[in-house]
Chains A and B, each alone.
Chain A
Amino acid sequence: MSARAALSLQVNGAAVDRDVEPRLTLADFLRNELKLTGTHLGCEHGVCGACTVLVDGEAVRSCLLFAVQAQGRSITTVEGLAQGADLHPLQRALLERNGLQCGFCTPGVLMTAMEFLENTSVPTREEIRKALSGTICRCTGYQGMVDAIAEIAGGDR
C-alpha cells in the first residue's frame, strides 16, 4: 500500500510512536492500532458524535481526522477518564441518572461533556441540551444525560 508516515503523540498520558498509513483515520488508529475500542464509530461522516475524543482538551470527531493530523498532540479517550477502580464523577453520575442503555453513544457523550464542563460553569438545561446536540443517542431520550451533566456542573437552574 502507500508509504507510511511516522507519528508521535500522547494518548491518555502515554507517549505513542507508530508508522501509519497517511489515510488512516484517528478513530481507526485508536481502535485498531492501539486497541482503544471505547471510541466508537456510528456514522464515519461527522454527524453522530460517537467517535468524539479530546485533542489537547478540545472535543473532536476522530472519524473526520487523519491520525497523522494528531502529530504532537495529546489525546484523551474514554479509557483515560477513570482512575483505576474509581470512575470519573461524570461516569458515576451518568450511571446513577439512567444516562445510558446500550452504551454505544456513551464514550462520545462523556468526551463531549468533559469539554463542555471544562468551559462552562453552572449551565442551564438548555445550554446542556445544546452542548449535547452533536451527539446522537437512540436509546435514552437524553434526559438522564442532561440530569447527570447538570448534577456535575453543580447546578440545575
Chain B
Amino acid sequence: MTREQLIRGEGQFIADLPDADCRWVAFVRSPHAHARVLSVLPPEGARDVTLVTGHDLASSIQPLRVQAPGLNVYDWHPMHPERALFVGDPVAAVVADSPYEAEDLADAVRIEYEPLPAVTSLEAAAGNETTIHPDLSDNVLFKFALNEGAATEAFASADLVVERTFRYPRQTAVPLECRGVLARYDPREQRFTVWTSTQVPHYLRNGLSQILGVPEDDIRVIRPDVGGAFGLKAQLFPEEVILPWLARETGGALKWVEDRRENLLASVHAHEGTLTLGAAFDGDGNLRAVRARAEGDAGAHSVFPFGAGLDPFTTVINIFGAYRHEIAEIDATSYATNKAPAGSYRGVGQVLSVFAVERLLDIAAGELGLDPAEIRRRNLLRTDDFPHTTPTGNAFDTGNYQETLRMALARADYDGLRAEQRTAATAGKQLGVGVGTFNEVTGVTLYPGYDGARVRIAPDGTIQGFMSSASSGQGHAEVYGRLIAEELGVSRDRVQIVEGDTDLCPSGSGTYASRTAVTMGNTLTLASQDLRRKLLKVAALMLKFEGELSDARVERELTIADGRICLAEDPATGVDFDEVVQAAYLQTLDFALPQEIVEAGLEVTRYEKLPQNVFSNTAIVAAVDVDTETGHFEIRRLVMVGDCGRILDRETVDGQAIGGAAMGIGCGTLEQLAYDADGQLLTASLMDYLVPTAMEVPPIEVGHLETPSSVTRNAAKGMGESGTMGIPAVLANAVADALGAEVTELPLSEERIAGLAMGASSL
C-alpha cells in the first residue's frame, strides 16, 4: 500500500485480509518451561473438534535441521511430539469458526505434563546438569573461535590492560503489529498459499518446502502490509508451518493472528548475552590488541535460517571494528536454555559489542588521563587507513571516521558541555556527557546473502520493479522507484514496485541487516542499467546508427532523460521513450530489430551478492542530567552524525536514523524481558515490557556525511540500526560520566542508576 492508503486506514495487514471463508486457529501453549507432554485430550464432552498435536504433525513432516558454520545441528520440530521447551511453546492447535471460539476451545484442551528441571541462565546451561536437546549433551548450540592465543604476548607486554565483563539484557523487538498467518491449500493444483507478516518470504518458502517435503514451486508466500518487524519477523516460526500443513489436512483456509502476550512469550527474543572484553594499550593510549569472549543465551532453539550464533557471533566479529589495532582474539558460544528462542532484533550482536567497546574506551581513558573524545581520535581509523581489513577479517572500503566524530562533537558543543561540567554544579543533579563512535555492518553476505531484482517495461509503457526484499514500513518503494526512474530517465510516478510475493518476485534474501539500499539497491541498479542499455540500443537503431553498437558506445553517444533518448551531441535529435518501448515489443519499425543486437522484450532479471559486507559509521554525543537521588535522568542533547555513503533518499535515511535512535533509547533505558527461576516470563504484557513513548524520546539531532562506498554500484552504505546499537552505549557513557561510576550492565533503569550513584558517593 502507498503511504497515502496507509494514512487513510486502508492498509492491508495480515489481520485485515478478507477471511470470510477462513476458520480460525488457536494454539495451546506450555505453561511449563520444560516438561514432558504425557497426553493431549480434547475438551471434556466435546465432539468433532479439530485438535492437532505434535504427534500428528511429526507423522507427516520432516524436522528441520538448521545448518550454518559453527552450529550444532539437531532436529527442530514446529511442535515437538513429546516435550515443551519453554513457556509458550506450542503443544497443540485447535480450529474453530471464529477467533473467540478458537480461544475458548484452546483453553479447554486437557494436557498432562510431567515438569522437568528448567535451565534459565547461562550459568545453568553451561553447568549442563539438565540437557535440553538430547543430541546436544553440553547445551551448546553454537561455537566459534578465531586467532586463539594470538593476543597473549601483546597483553603481557602492554602498558595498560583493561578488562571487564559486560551484560546485555534479553529484549524483543515488539513490532506494533504482532505476527499472523493466513494459509490456503488448493487440492486441485496441490499448491499452498501462505500470507504471513514476514521479512523473508523466500527463506520461508525454502524452509516450508524442506519441512512439508514439497517442491518450492508448490508454495507461494505472500507478505501483506507489515506493521513493523525490526528483525523479529526474519525467521521461520512454528505457526508458519502449522497453518499451511493444517490447511492441507482440513482442506480449507485457516487464519491465526497473534496476540501481544503470545508475541512476548513465544515469537523470538534477542540481544541477551555477556561479553568479557579486554584491551591492551601502549602508554600513549594507542590500542594494540583485543580479546573478546561472548556467551549468548539462545533460548530453546536455533531458529531458521540464521541459527543460534547470530548475536554472539556478530558481537565478536565486529569487535573494535572502527578502531586501529593489530590483533584480535575472539570466541563466541551460544547456549540453549528453557526460554523463548533467540532470533534477531535491530542492532543484532553489535548492541553488545558497541556497548562494551565504548564503555571500555572510557574506562581506559580514565586510567590514561585522556578525555574520552581524545582516546577515540587517537584510535579511530583514519582516512588513509582505507581500504582496511580488521584482524577478524572484516574488509572496509571507505570511511571518514575522524570527520564524523569531529562533526558530532562540534554540533553538540562538546567543549562547552565539558566547560559547564567543570563550573556549574547543582546539588543532587549531575551533567554527564557521553561519546561513541562505531561502524555498522550492513548488507550481510551470509545466509545466503544475495538479492534478486526484475525490472520490466510492459508494451503499454508501465514500468515495474519486482524485488526479492520485503519492506516492513521502511519506505523501500520510494528508494527503489527513484533508482529505476533515474536509470531509465523517466519520472518517478511511472514506476511501480512489487515486493514480497514469491510467485512474482525473484528469489533473494528478504529484508534484514540494513541490506535494502546496498545489496538490493545494488542488484536493482544492475538490472535497471541492463534494461537502459537495451533501450539505448533500440533507440540507436531507430536513429540509424551505423557500425557496431557496443554498450560503451550507446552510453557515450546517447542520453536518456525526461522520457526521451537523444543524441549526446545534438539533443534536438532523439526518440520518445514510449516509441522505443513500442518498437521493442511491437516491432513497429520499418525494419526488423536484429536479434543479435537486441533481444525482443524489455525485461531484465539480475541476481547479485556483494563481494563483502558494507560498513557505515556513526558518531553520537549525548548530554544527560542525572538526578542522583532518584536515578532519573533527562536527555538534554542527543546528536547523531552518520555516514552511510551516498544518500539515496534523505527522508528515508532520517526516518531510519531517528526511529532507530528511539529504539536505542528503549534498549538502553527500558527494555528488559525477565524470567523467574522457574522459567516463567514476568514481562508478558506491554505494562511490564516497556518501550519508549513520545515522552521518553527527546528531539534527536541528525547530521550526515557522505563518503561514497567503492563496493556498491550506487555508492550507498546501509544504515538503519546505528541508533539502536549506539545509543545505549553512549547513554551509558554519559551516565557513568555523570556519576563517576562504572556501568557494565543495561538497561539504565532508575534503580540501577540510583544504586550506582550511592555506590559512587560512598567510595
User: Is the pair B11, A103 in contact by a Cβ cutoff of 8 Å?
Assistant: yes
A75 contacts B by Cβ under 8 Å: no
Q: Which residue of B lies closest to A105 (CB)?
A: B176
> Which chain B positions have C-beta within 8 A of A54?
none
Known: A45-B686, A133-B694, A143-B658. A101 touches B260 (CB 8 A): no
Complex alpha-carbon distance, A106 and B686, angstroms = 18
Within 8 A of B (CB), among A124-149: 128-130, 132-146
Contact of A136 among B176, B225, B474 (CB under 8 A): B176
User: Is the pair A38, B686 in contact by a Cβ cutoff of 8 Å?
Assistant: no
User: Is the pair B260, A44 in contact by a Cβ cutoff of 8 Å?
Assistant: yes
User: Is the pair A45, B9 in contact by a Cβ cutoff of 8 Å?
Assistant: no
Q: How far is the CB of B462 from chain A (nearest CB, A)?
A: 23
Complex alpha-carbon distance, A66 and B658, angstroms = 37
User: Is the pair B259, A44 in contact by a Cβ cutoff of 8 Å?
Assistant: yes
Q: Which residue of A lies closest to B17 (CB)?
A: A37
> Which chain A positions have C-beta within 8 A of B661?
141
Interface stretch, picked from B81-89, B398-406, B488-496, B695-703, is B695-703
> Which chain B positions have C-beta within 8 A of A31?
15-16
B228 contacts A by Cβ under 8 Å: yes
> Which chain B positions have C-beta within 8 A of A107?
9
A61 contacts B by Cβ under 8 Å: no
Scoring B residues 7 to 40 as 1 if CB is less than 8 Å from chain A, else 0, what string do you get? Answer: 1111111011000000000000000000000000
Complex alpha-carbon distance, A139 and B686, angstroms = 16
Q: Please tell me the number of chain B residues within 8 Å of chain A, measured between CB atoms.
A: 51
Q: How far is the CB of A75 from chain B (nearest CB, A)?
A: 13
User: Is the pair A136, B691 in contact by a Cβ cutoff of 8 Å?
Assistant: yes
Known: A38-B9, A48-B686. A98 touches B654 (CB 8 A): yes
Scoring B residues 190 to 233 as 1 if CB is less than 8 Å from chain A, else 0, what string do you get? Answer: 00000000000000000000000000000000000111101000
> Which chain B positions have C-beta within 8 A of A139?
176, 228, 473, 655, 659
User: Is the pair B100, A91 in contact by a Cβ cutoff of 8 Å?
Assistant: no
B177 contacts A by Cβ under 8 Å: yes
User: Is the pair B7, A101 in contact by a Cβ cutoff of 8 Å?
Assistant: no
Q: How far is the CB of B476 from chain A (nearest CB, A)?
A: 11
B751 contacts A by Cβ under 8 Å: no
Q: How far is the CB of A106 from chain B (nearest CB, A)?
A: 6
User: Is the pair A140, B655 in contact by a Cβ cutoff of 8 Å?
Assistant: yes
User: Is the pair A104, B260 in contact by a Cβ cutoff of 8 Å?
Assistant: no
> Which chain B positions have C-beta within 8 A of A45?
260, 685-687
Within 8 A of A (CB), among B630-682: 651, 654-655, 658-663
Contact of B7 among A24, A95, A133 (CB under 8 A): A95
> Which chain B positions have C-beta within 8 A of A104?
11, 13, 175-177, 227-228, 473
Interface magnitude class on chain A: 35 or more
Within 8 A of B (CB), among A93-133: 94-95, 98, 100-107, 110, 128-130, 132-133
> Which chain A positions have C-beta within 8 A of B8?
38, 78-79, 81-82, 87, 91
Q: How far is the CB of B652 from chain A (nearest CB, A)?
A: 9
B472 contacts A by Cβ under 8 Å: yes
Complex alpha-carbon distance, A51 and B686, angstroms = 15
Q: How far is the CB of B723 from chain A (nearest CB, A)?
A: 8
Complex alpha-carbon distance, A106 and B1, angstroms = 14
User: Is the pair A143, B11 in contact by a Cβ cutoff of 8 Å?
Assistant: no
User: Is the pair B7, A94 in contact by a Cβ cutoff of 8 Å?
Assistant: yes
User: Is the pair A141, B662 in contact by a Cβ cutoff of 8 Å?
Assistant: yes
Within 8 A of B (CB), among A34-85: 36-45, 47-48, 50, 77-79, 81-82
Complex alpha-carbon distance, A31 and B693, angstroms = 26
Q: How far is the CB of A139 from chain B (nearest CB, A)?
A: 5
> Which chain B positions have C-beta within 8 A of A135?
693-694
> Which chain B positions have C-beta within 8 A of A37?
9, 11-13, 15-16
Q: Which residue of B lies closest to A107 (CB)?
A: B9
Q: Which residue of A lies closest to B6 (CB)?
A: A103
Complex alpha-carbon distance, A60 and B580, angstroms = 56
Contact of A141 among B10, B15, B658 (CB under 8 A): B658
User: Is the pair B685, A43 in contact by a Cβ cutoff of 8 Å?
Assistant: yes
A1 contacts B by Cβ under 8 Å: yes
Complex alpha-carbon distance, A59 and B475, angstroms = 29
Scoring B residues 224 to 266 as 1 if CB is less than 8 Å from chain A, else 0, what string do you get? Answer: 0111101000000000000000000000000000011000000
> Which chain B positions have C-beta within 8 A of A77?
9
User: Is the pair A106, B6 in contact by a Cβ cutoff of 8 Å?
Assistant: yes
> Which chain B positions have C-beta within 8 A of A79?
8-9
User: Is the pair B11, A38 in contact by a Cβ cutoff of 8 Å?
Assistant: yes
A18 contacts B by Cβ under 8 Å: no
15 residue pairs from A and B, CB less than 8 Å apart = A31-B16, A37-B16, A45-B686, A47-B686, A47-B687, A79-B9, A87-B4, A95-B7, A102-B177, A106-B9, A132-B693, A133-B693, A138-B230, A142-B662, A146-B694
**In the complex, given contacts A141-B663, A144-B658, A145-B694, what are 16 additional A-B residue pairs having Cβ atoms less than 8 angstroms apart?**
A24-B100, A31-B15, A37-B12, A38-B8, A48-B260, A82-B8, A98-B651, A98-B654, A104-B228, A129-B694, A138-B175, A138-B228, A138-B659, A138-B691, A139-B228, A139-B655
Chain A contacts to B: CB under 8 angstroms: 1, 21, 23-24, 31, 36-45, 47-48, 50, 77-79, 81-82, 87, 91, 94-95, 98, 100-107, 110, 128-130, 132-146
